[in-house]
Amino acid sequence: MKVSVDISPEYREPYAVIHTDKVTEEIQRMIDFFSVSEAPITALQNEEDIVVLQSKEIYMVRVENGDTVIYGEKNKYRSRKRLYELGAQLGSQFMQIQLAVAFIIWFCFMRFYRREAREMNDKIQQMK
């Protein structure tokens, strides 16, 4: 695919034109990408390839050894942005929780699950 960029002070807003003989999957992705009003999130994959991520592709963002790491469904990426910057960019779609809070939620869930399992087992025993 050929790409041409024309930079001029007369342009107030970026405008893209795609010349093609048919709308392929790649073209449709480009149309979807450019029509979204939210800013794309860029990250490094394999420490050298820059990828553009949409917020719907991101499952978790965390800091590991001082690096901001973005987790997708199958891959993880490194971002040059700080955690609070990504949080602001992702907006209300994501929430930030501390590890201790996540552990407390997990602990409460497991405690509830065990109690429910015990009660279910007791009911099964009473039915016999």
The predicted-structure confidence for 59-92, as pLDDT tens digits, reads as follows: 889 899 999 999 988 899 999 888 888 888 888 7
Locate the domains of the chain by residue range. Answer: 97-128
* Single pTM value for the model: 0.53
Mention every residue, 6+ apart, whose C-beta is less than 8 A from residue 94. 55, 58, 61, 87
Q: Determine the 3-state secondary structure of 60 from DSSP.
A: strand
User: Which of 19-28, 41-50, 91-100 comes out lowest in average pLDDT?
Assistant: 91-100
List 42's β-bridge partners, or say none. 52
Cα separation, 52 vs 43, whole angstroms? 7
Task: List pLDDT tens digits, range 13-28.
Answer: 877 888 889 888 888 7
- Note whether 59 and 104 are within 8 A (CB): no
Environment class of 70 (CB within 10 Å of its CB; exposed 0-12, middle 13-18, buried 19+): buried
Question: Is beta strand 49-53 parallel, antiparallel or unpaired with respect to 41-45?
Answer: antiparallel
